[in-house]
Amino acid sequence: MVHETPVRVRYGEVDRMGFVYHGHYVVYFEMGRTELLRSLGATYRELEDAGTLLVVVETSQRFLVPAGYDDHLMIRTELADVRGVRLRFEYEVLRDGQCLATGHTVLASCDKNGRPRRMPARLSELLAPSAGEQESRKAEGAPDVQGAGQGAS
Amino acid sequence: MVHETPVRVRYGEVDRMGFVYHGHYVVYFEMGRTELLRSLGATYRELEDAGTLLVVVETSQRFLVPAGYDDHLMIRTELADVRGVRLRFEYEVLRDGQCLATGHTVLASCDKNGRPRRMPARLSELLAPSAGEQESRKAEGAPDVQGAGQGAS
Amino acid sequence: MVHETPVRVRYGEVDRMGFVYHGHYVVYFEMGRTELLRSLGATYRELEDAGTLLVVVETSQRFLVPAGYDDHLMIRTELADVRGVRLRFEYEVLRDGQCLATGHTVLASCDKNGRPRRMPARLSELLAPSAGEQESRKAEGAPDVQGAGQGAS
Amino acid sequence: MVHETPVRVRYGEVDRMGFVYHGHYVVYFEMGRTELLRSLGATYRELEDAGTLLVVVETSQRFLVPAGYDDHLMIRTELADVRGVRLRFEYEVLRDGQCLATGHTVLASCDKNGRPRRMPARLSELLAPSAGEQESRKAEGAPDVQGAGQGAS
Task: For residue range B81-95, list pLDDT tens digits in order.
Answer: 999 999 999 999 999
Whether pLDDT at A60 is above 70:
yes
Q: Among the listed ranges A125-129, B27-31, C40-44, which one has the minimum average pLDDT value?
A: A125-129
Whether pLDDT at C152 is above 80:
no
Task: For residue range C63-113, list pLDDT tens digits in order.
Answer: 999 999 999 999 999 999 999 999 999 999 999 999 999 999 999 999 988
Please tell me chain B's helix, strand, coil percentages from 3-state DSSP, rounded to the nearest 5.
35, 40, 30
Residue C128's pLDDT band, with cuts at 50, 70 and 90, is confident
CB contact under 8 A, D30 and B10: yes
Residue B130's pLDDT band, with cuts at 50, 70 and 90, is low
In a domain, A141, yes or no: no
Whether pLDDT at D149 is above 60:
no
In a domain, B144, yes or no: no
Q: For residue A15, how far is the Cα from the chain centroid?
A: 25
Nearest CA in chain D to B43: D70
pLDDT given at position A130? 55
pLDDT given at position D54? 96
Whether pLDDT at A153 is above 80:
no
Residue C135's pLDDT band, with cuts at 50, 70 and 90, is very low
In a domain, C146, yes or no: no
Cβ–Cβ < 8 Å for B14, A13 = no
| Mean pLDDT, residues D60-74 | 97
In a domain, C61, yes or no: yes
In a domain, C152, yes or no: no
Quote the domain boundaries for residue D26. 2-142
**Residue D15 annotated among the catalytic residues of the structure:** yes
Average predicted confidence (pLDDT) for chain B: 86
CA angle A79, D68, C13 (to 5 degrees): 55
In a domain, A147, yes or no: no
CB contact under 8 A, C58 and B56: no
In a domain, C55, yes or no: yes
Cβ–Cβ < 8 Å for A38, A71 = no
Question: What residues of chain C lie within 8 A of the CB of B61, using their CB?
Answer: 58-60
Whether pLDDT at D151 is above 90:
no
In a domain, D102, yes or no: yes
Whether pLDDT at A79 is above 80:
yes
Task: For residue range B12-48, list pLDDT tens digits in order.
Answer: 999 999 999 999 999 999 999 999 999 999 999 999 9
Task: For residue range D85-140, list pLDDT tens digits in order.
Answer: 999 999 999 999 999 999 999 999 999 888 999 999 989 988 876 544 444 444 44
| Mean pLDDT, residues B56-63 | 98
CA of D134 vs chain A CAs: smallest distance (Å)? 26
Exposure pattern of B36-47 as b/e (b: 16+ CB <10 Å)? bbbebebebbeb
What percent of chain B stands above pLDDT 70? 84
pLDDT given at position A13? 97
**Which CATH number do you get for residue D85?**
3.10.129.10
| Number of independent structural domains in chain A | 1
Instruction: Count each helix (H run) and each strand (E run) in chain D, helices first.
Output: 4, 5
Residue type, D34: T
What percent of chain D stands above pLDDT 70? 84
Which one of B15, B23, B69 has the shortest CB-CB distance to A14?
B15
Which one of B27, B57, B66 has the shortest CB-CB distance to C63?
B57
Nearest CA in chain B to C112: B17
CA of A45 vs chain C CAs: smallest distance (Å)? 7
Question: What residues of chain C lie within 8 A of the CB of B47, using their CB?
Answer: none
pLDDT given at position C127? 87
Whole-angstrom distance, CA of residue D32 vs CA of residue D35: 5
Cβ–Cβ < 8 Å for C36, C80 = no
Calculated CA dihedral for residues B7, B9, B15, B16, nearest 10 degrees: 150
Identify the residue with better confidence: A126 or B5.
B5
A86 CB within 8 Å of a chain D CB: no
Task: For residue range B39-51, list pLDDT tens digits in order.
Answer: 999 999 999 999 9
Whole-angstrom distance, CA of residue D116 vs CA of residue D8: 35
Whole-angstrom distance, CA of residue B2 vs CA of residue A111: 43
Q: What is the DSSP string of A31-46?
A: HHHHHHHHHHT--HHH
| Mean pLDDT, residues C110-121 | 91
Question: What residues of chain B lie within 8 A of the CB of D43, using their CB?
Answer: 70
